[in-house]
Structure 1
Amino acid sequence: MAHHLTGLDHTLLATADLEAARETWRKLGFTLTPRGRHVGWATGNYCIMFPRNYVELLGIAEPGGFTAGLEEMLATRGEGVHKVVLGTDDAVQARASLVAAGFAPSEPQSLSRALELPEGTVMPAFTLVHLPPEATPQLSMFICQHLTPELVRRPDWLLHPNGAERLAGVVVVVDDPVALEQPYERLLGAGNAIRTDRMLTVRAGNETILFVTPDDLDTLFPDLDHAEKPTPYVAGMRFRVHNPAAAAAFFAASGADHVLSLDGTVLVPAAAAHGCFLEFTSRA
């Protein structure tokens, strides 16, 4: 990939009740990290870790403090994935490359969070680079470098009872996917935005961002009832599993709301996952 970018690093799923979201995702068969608290902010999180990427459940831990816009996002758009984050192996070099290519990224920003472990609190650290809206149209994105990956990727946190092996991509609903082809090729490199009729598949490393129209969302996922929302929005996340039937069996045994599609994928509706449907597939 271009500009020292490595793929999808994580998604940020905003939730109005962080502890309730933790319990929901635990019942869906995900292993969650202990709670984290962003240093100097009023937000906290639980993470679902995979070897290369993860899902962050983000909520407000202290009402009235700095939330980086989370309160406003929840008030205007409700729960769901509000940001998709690109990974980098070198945030400083990534920013320099982006500037040389004519982008206007922010200066690198340091971020740490207190991770509450039984043996004591540790401090995972990150460097962030924020991207202007015109660099990632119809999708809010920034860049993240992990400075202490060993603190957040313990082996027992990477094993999930539902069989999920990695976050494989996201599904984003927009009015005109085709119009996004050139901006995302400019950011991620030539050949990484692939048009199919009205849909656009953007490759970010081993993961994909699928841009679809509201009509195509209904066509691709007819087994789900899709609530009408103002575009753009992230409708779903896709997870790679070795055996979707085993994932379906787990959900059936746990009583989790799910659908086994005719194509063999397993779907959890957005209402059962705090605002974003989940797809479990062996093809991703």
Structure 2
Amino acid sequence: MPKPIGAIDHLLTYVHELEGAASLFRRMGFTLSPVSHIAPMGISNHLVLMTPVANGFANFIELMAVQDQTKLPAPMAKILSGPQAVKSMVLGAADINTAHAAILKQGFEASPPVHVKREWIIGPSESVFPEFDVILPFPAPLPFNCCRYFNVDLYLRPEWLVHANTAKGIRAVLAVAKEPVALLKTFAAMFDEPLTEDGDRAHVVSGGIELVVLSSDAAWKKFGVDRKSAGEVGYLGYVIEVESLDALQSSLSAGGIAYRRDGASIYIDPAVGLGNLMIFREKSGF
């Protein structure tokens, strides 16, 4: 029987100015999808699409900006505000109603899923029509929402999945919380996966992607991230697997991107990474 949640699918990243954010990611060596203007909701986005780990799902970073505040749906207005950063982890489900029931079971007041089909103009005289069910963001200590694709192949065009920096995909989502285990128990129950506690951090896996939660003190000791900016509960960043750290380093240097290399990892700090700690490794996982 399929699990209620099939995978950690993508990360909704709020940015103040979309084309500036897109330029930053291109200078990092990423390929971006064409801009998409979702006028009825007052938003626009670019996608940084990578190769999925689990069949039927995607794997990407979504850069989203507000174009018309007056059109924003209420659930999105709260998410798309404040500092730039990952604002919601979007989970993938094979059956949106099963996922919704699992979310409600954990005590969240999530609105019923809505069905969406829209035009996405991807080139001159070329449109595609993504179709999905979505549970919009709702109040939660660590915000998340959920989607079910009907045509995920539209997001998996080969030319969008190849990156000069050799990025393969998101392998871990990082968050901080005062009590990591308590926070992760909810996700472990929704994922129907075991929770693993490892000293000052805890983690659970969904669809091959880890959700790792650390205490803010642990984040400071391990990454040098300012505990004040991390806050008591919130997203810290993510880990991306690359084929070659040397190729990544060349892309970052060519793009004038500040980074630091420490052994088997390259780090882009939140001040550069749109509020997110970006960690790149050649091996999967955290």
Q: TM-score range by the shorter chain?
A: 0.7 to 0.9
Out of 68, 80, 102, the position equivalent to 1:62 is 68
1:181–1:195 contact (8 Å) kept in structure 2: no
Q: CA deviation at 1:60?
A: 1.0
Q: Deviations over 1:217-236 (max 9, x none)?
A: 122214x6666343322111
SS at match of 2:156: coil
Partner of 1:90: 95
Aligned residue in 1 for 2:177:
174
List aligned pairs for 1:213-228, cutoff 5 A. Answer: 213-222=215-224, 228=229
TM-score normalised by length of structure 1: 0.87
Identity over aligned pairs, percent? 23
Q: 2:155 aligns with which of 152, 156, 164?
A: 152
Describe how 1:189-208 pairs up with structure 2 within 5 A. 189-191=192-194, 193-208=195-210
Structure 2 stretches of 5 or more lacking a match? Answer: 53-58
1:227 and 1:242, CA in 2 relative to 1: closer, same or farther beyond 3 A?
farther
Partner SS, residue 138 of structure 1: coil
Q: CA deviation at 1:211?
A: 0.6
Distance 1:97 1:218, change over 3 A: closer
Q: What CA deviation, in whole Å up to 9, does each residue of 1:37-77 have, x standing for no partner? A: 336210111001112211110111234322545554454x4
Give the number of equivalent residue pairs. 277
CA distance in 1, matches of 2:218, 2:77: 31
Asked if structure 2 preserves the Cα contact closer than 8 Å seen for 1:194 and 1:201, the reply is: yes
Q: 1:174 to 1:99 in 2, by over 3 A?
A: closer
Equivalence for 1:41: 41
CA contact (8 A) 1:3 1:98 kept: no
> Given that residues 2 and 188 in structure 1 are in contact (C-alpha distance below 8 angstroms), is that contact kept between their aligned partners in structure 2?
no
Q: Is structure 2 residue 123 aligned with structure 1 residue 120? A: no
Alpha carbons of 1:159 and 1:128: their partners in 2 closer, same or farther (altered >3 Å)?
Answer: same
Structure 1 runs (4+) greater than 3 angstroms displaced: 1-4, 67-75, 92-106, 130-133, 224-227
RMSD of Structure 2 on Structure 1 (CA): 2.5
Which residue identity is paired with 1:280? F
Unaligned runs of 5+ in 1: none
In the TM superposition, what whole-angstrom CA distance separates every residue of 1:147-194 from its partner, at most 9, and x where no partner exists? 122222211000011111011121101111122243222211242x11
Deviation at 1:131, TM superposition (A): 7.4
C-alpha distance in structure 2 between counterparts of 1:32 and 1:226, whole Å: 31
SS of the residue corresponding to residue 83 of structure 1 reads strand
Normalising by structure 2, we get a TM-score of 0.87
Task: Tell me if 1:232 matches 2:233.
Answer: yes
Indicate how the Cα distance of structure 1 residues 229 and 96 shifts in structure 2: closer, same or farther if over 3 A, else same.
closer
Q: 1:157 and 1:117 mapped to 2: Cα distance? A: 11
Offset of residue 142 of structure 1:
1.3
